[in-house]
Amino acid sequence: MGMLRIKLEEAKKENEILKAMLNQVNEHCTTFQNRILFEMQQHQLSASSSSPRNNNNHHDSQVIKFDLNFVLINDSI
């Protein structure tokens, strides 16, 4: 019985370490996704200011923003 408790405690400790690692990876992934979103928005802004204005540029940037936000929300569930 004592050996089982030791193994269970070892498994619990390993589980806590793995949870912490997963949380860190998730935080880094979210940071990376936010950075990508920012860079895409900056690219859209610079592209729309250097080319003739039309309604499609504004619409495209809204679609990109929505798609990335959808990914960010779904990844955190």
Express each pLDDT in 27-74 by its tens digit: 999 999 999 999 999 998 888 887 655 555 555 555 555 555 555 555
Task: Give residue 47's pLDDT.
Answer: 86
Q: How far apart are CA 68 and CA 66, in angstroms?
A: 6
Is the predicted pLDDT of residue 2 greater than 70, yes or no? yes
Q: Where are the domains positioned within the chain? A: 2-75
User: pLDDT value at position 68?
Assistant: 55
Structure tokens at 24: 């860190």
C-alpha dihedral sign at 24, 30, 31, 32: positive
Model pLDDT, residue 71:
52
- Inter-residue contact 51 to 57 (CB < 8 Å): yes
Distance CA 48, CA 4 (A): 65
The per-residue pLDDT for range 9-31, each reduced to its tens digit, is 999 999 999 999 999 999 999 99
